[in-house]
Amino acid sequence: MEAVATPLYHFISPLNQKQPRCYSTNFGLVNVAETLPESSLSTSLESLSSLQFDYENKFNSLNSVRAMHAKMIKLSNEWDTKKNMQYFISGYLEFGDFQSAAVLFFVGFAENYLYWNSFLEEYTYFGGTPCEILEVFSELHSKGVNFNTEILAFVLKICSKLRDMWLGLEVHACLIKKGFDLDVYTKCALMNFYGRCCGTESANKVFKETSMHDSLLWNEAILVNLRNEKWTEGLQMFRDMQDLFVKANSLTISKVLQACGKLGALDEGKQIHGYVIRYALESNILIRTALINMYVKNDNIKLARVVFASTDNRNLPCWNSIISGYTALGYLDDAWELFHEMKTCNIKPDIITWNSLLSGHFLHGSYREVLAIVTRMQSAGYQPNRNSITSALQAVSELGYLRIGKEIHCHVLRNGFDYDLHIATSLVDMYVKNDDLTSAKAVFDCMKNRNIFAWNSLISGYSCKGHFEKAGDLLDQMKEEGIKPDIVTYNSMLSGYSTSNCIKEALGMIRRIKSSGMSPNVISWTSLVSGCSQQGYFREAFEFLTQMQDEGIKVNSVTVASLLQACAGLSLLHIGKEIHCLCIRNDFIDDVYVSTALIDMYSKCGNLENAQKVFQNLEDKTLASWNSMITGFAIYGLGTEAISLFDKMREAKIQPDAITFIALLSSCKHSGLLDKGWKYFDHMKTDFGVIPTIEHYSCMVDLLGRVGYLDEASDFIQSMPMEPNAAVWGALLTSCRIHGNVELAEIAAEHLFKLEPYNAANYALMMNLYAISNRWKDVDRIRDKMEAMGVKIGPVWSWLKVSQRIHIFSTAGKTHPEEGEIFFELYKLISEMKKLGYKPDTECVVQNFSEVEKEKALLGHTEKLAITYGLIRTTSPAPIRVINNTRICSDCHKVAKYMSLLRRREIFLKDGVRFHHFRDGKCSCCDFWYWTSVVNTVILVISSSVIISPSQSA
């Protein structure tokens, strides 16, 4: 007959204010070993003798408990009946005398382990700690009180929970002395103790030293390994167990299935599923739930759904498992359908259900939906717990919704969650990511127990914002409080230095990591590579990559994305392709950051076709990938294609952001699409909620000026809601240069000389404009001003790759060894062009030369020389790819078109702003561009450029 042991407080009336919880516990020795066999014995309390005592009376103080206890001992021969003892134990617990309660329990109930769990639960409910029970046990044991095997086993269980290794070892010694260590239940308790306190090796040793391995021991041995996350070892023990035809219980099977999920061992999981069917265990709801979780962890939602559908008695955990599986794998709509179906089956969702939906939506980037679910959950009567609040705070961090984050913070304070370490750390992180370091520090200062995650988050916030002194102070304070910095701490500082252009300090942090006894990991080196790529130190990024590889650190997807950014900056198409192959070999290609970086790299390296292929092959196109592709079309001057892609993006329900509209407006300005540009600028705020920034205004000034609306561009600048910056005035000055408007150009130049007094390009533009207008005195005046300011125009260069070597053509440096052959071919090409109608555009030369001298000067432009060398040393159909550090002049643009026609070759030329794709005498820009290769023309006081080839390996 199965019965239930009654908790102690059921024998007395409820005491002051504390309302006892209503629970009952099935006791069995399996609880001692934390193993659940298929069946366990239970007992009921024997009928207790009735005493002449009013159990309804309440104790009003600890002294009253002690007085009544003493009176009962003196006057009654039956004072130690179970009912009396339970009454006094509850009284002692109520008034905080935990030691007396424990002593009384040891004396009265030591012979029967079946009461232990009930006592321990009530003991902790009233505020006692298991440590005090162990102290009483140790005291009684030292006084010679003998305990049987059940009590010693239960004490081992408490030692396991408290990690009290020394007392546990003493108990083990006592068991050996008394000859109890051969008892199977004691062996289970010992394995549990050693597994928690000493590791699985010691626990397995206990198991191996046991001569008779029955099912209880096998199950406990497997559970000990799995509890310590020794998934492979646990699975192997399960195989060994089956070889000996020992039957596993339901708890073991469920844990082994969990191991299959952790290891991604789908085949093994299917075999265990077969075992479950063979032994007719599929009706066990615990195993069913474990099977669902196993298939979900192995990304096989179909089989998980099959198991779920074949389950008749679906309980709440079963529903939660399948819903959690769908959300974890990104099937959010299916998860909601199951959620509604669950309610129709009269299964009420709990907080776990809601949290599964929250975490799934956050994991797959549906951050706004996370906040909506929190609101919906509260409307349904569920209060968010720590997991719910954490998901909401993480969503706020991603969305940048600081106001909502503060509202959640208020909710945390109102509901007393501020003591929760996990939530407090999430609050610090939320404020850091929303650039509110003052609030982050305030939350941090209020935390009583700060974990290393909170320290790292705040240090990261300060270092990433360039507040290195405050970050260093926190690092020192952290050490003073006994918290040892880990690799994440140092990486936070390293990342801050890297992104703030403090490369030397970042390298110093690498040395500091090594001196602290740790090794820089992939994140450390990636921070350096990424920082260099972001700051434009592309060569240094590759140098750090070499050091990283020398130390045996393998790249990850973030490293690869940073390297692709460096390739885009240097236009290293061949290296970019090699990295693309690396991505395919290492399964990085599906990473959204890598794929977006690939699109950007191919676009900026002159291979728009490959960029489109990468984009089209993307299954999950993010906003960043759409933006990269639109930007790619923009830099090639393909405005119509960029607008068409934007329309497809809207059809895909992707919400554009500020970067999207910068790309769109850039494509419009490169293609002269004024009406489209105005349309997007006017609608970006009203239709999409994107507030125009200075970059958007700069694009519009550029667009208006390019098409000749200079007065409108000037009026537009005056109406701007913010102060115009150098980019805005630079756009106007460039437009004035195109259309020869000296008056407006002088106004723009005056602002630019104040905002950027050392930018040589601004002075060069004005000299170019004055030269076209034959105002040579003004040209000399600007040149004198530059000399007085110490402003110098740097060398102009163009380069291309031929036969795995980089060839650079520059206005400064050594001459190319094949200079004669290059000029011979160029003269020949010019002669052929003139027969087709080519006339040199001598307006590109700002020097006061004769027309003949100007024509000679045009031949020295580095773009022409690089393209000519490419025609000599490469064969069709390979395209010629030339990179130039200034904007191409009108004459070079015209010559490149003729060259592509005469030699039937594709020519890709990247200037300082955009790409030009020449084919069959036409350019992708449709000749809508402006002549601002001014630095080239100003420098060409020398009739022929100096040509160098450092013969660098690619």
Confidence of residue 154 (pLDDT cuts 50, 70, 90): low
The reported pTM is 0.65
Residues contacting 430, CB < 8 A, separation 6+ = 393, 394, 396, 397, 405
**Rounded Cα distance, 572 and 577, in Å:** 9
Confidence of residue 80 (pLDDT cuts 50, 70, 90): low
Report CA 246 to chain centroid distance, whole Å: 45
**Rounded Cα distance, 325 and 293, in Å:** 7
The string of pLDDT tens digits covering residues 709-722 is: 999 999 999 999 99
**Rounded Cα distance, 190 and 57, in Å:** 43
Confidence of residue 799 (pLDDT cuts 50, 70, 90): confident
pLDDT at 143: 64
The string of pLDDT tens digits covering residues 633-682 is: 998 888 999 999 999 999 998 999 999 999 999 999 888 899 999 999 99
pLDDT at 437: 92
Domain layout of the chain by residue ranges = 797-923
pLDDT at 942: 29
Instruction: Give which of 103, 163, 162, 90 is closest to 130, Cα–Cα.
Output: 162
Residue reference for tokens 């723009």 = 748
CA-CA-CA-CA torsion sign (745, 748, 752, 753): positive
Residue 503 gets the label, from left (phi > 0), alpha (psi -120 to 50) or beta, of alpha
**Rounded Cα distance, 408 and 392, in Å:** 8
**Rounded Cα distance, 864 and 826, in Å:** 8
Answer yes or no: are the C-beta atoms of 269 and 298 closer than 8 Å: yes
| Residue 287 CB neighbour total at 10 angstroms | 21
Answer yes or no: are the C-beta atoms of 267 and 295 closer than 8 Å: no
- List strands edge to edge, sheet with 805-810: 922-923, 915-919, 907-910, 880-884, 797-802, 805-810, 952-953
Confidence of residue 480 (pLDDT cuts 50, 70, 90): confident
pLDDT at 934: 36
> What percent of the chain is predicted at pLDDT more than 90?
27
The string of pLDDT tens digits covering residues 757-782 is: 999 889 988 988 898 888 889 988 99
The string of pLDDT tens digits covering residues 278-337 is: 888 877 888 888 888 888 888 888 888 888 888 878 888 889 889 988 888 888 888 999
Average pLDDT, the chain: 80
CA atoms within 13 A on the CB side of 529: 27
Confidence of residue 252 (pLDDT cuts 50, 70, 90): confident
pLDDT at 904: 92
Two tokens, residue 118: 């009930």
pLDDT at 146: 64
Answer yes or no: are the C-beta atoms of 855 and 840 closer than 8 Å: yes
| Bridging pattern class, strands 805-810 and 797-802 | antiparallel
- Name the more confident of 589 and 121: 589
Residues contacting 41, CB < 8 A, separation 6+ = 28
pLDDT at 410: 92
The least confident of 425-429, 447-451, 605-609, 651-655 is: 447-451
Residue reference for tokens 């205004």 = 697
- Name the more confident of 138 and 485: 485
Checking if the pLDDT of 895 tops 90, the result is yes
Residues contacting 731, CB < 8 A, separation 6+ = 698, 699, 701, 702, 705, 713
CA-CA-CA-CA torsion sign (207, 213, 216, 221): positive
The string of pLDDT tens digits covering residues 862-879 is: 899 999 999 999 887 888
pLDDT at 212: 66
CA atoms within 13 A on the CB side of 304: 26
Instruction: Give which of 349, 374, 350 is closest to 362, Cα–Cα.
Output: 374
Answer yes or no: are the C-beta atoms of 404 and 415 closer than 8 Å: no
Residues contacting 648, CB < 8 A, separation 6+ = none
**Rounded Cα distance, 587 and 458, in Å:** 34
Confidence of residue 147 (pLDDT cuts 50, 70, 90): low
SS3 assignment for 745-770: HHHHHHHHHHHCCCCHHHHHHHHHHH
Helix, strand, coil percent content, the chain, rounded in steps of 5: 65, 5, 30
**Rounded Cα distance, 664 and 640, in Å:** 10
pLDDT at 403: 92
Answer yes or no: are the C-beta atoms of 852 and 880 closer than 8 Å: no
CA-CA-CA-CA torsion sign (399, 403, 407, 409): positive
- Name the more confident of 24 and 206: 206
State the alpha helices, DSSP H only, in 799-945. Answer: 819-835, 851-859, 862-873, 890-902, 934-939
Answer yes or no: are the C-beta atoms of 554 and 570 closer than 8 Å: no
pLDDT at 813: 67
| Residue 151 CB neighbour total at 10 angstroms | 22
State the alpha helices, DSSP H only, in 209-284. Answer: 215-227, 231-243, 250-263, 266-278
The string of pLDDT tens digits covering residues 538-585 is: 888 888 888 888 888 889 999 999 999 989 888 888 899 999 999 999
Region 937-953: what's the mean pLDDT? Answer: 33
Instruction: Give which of 531, 525, 528, 535 is closest to 556, Cα–Cα.
Output: 525
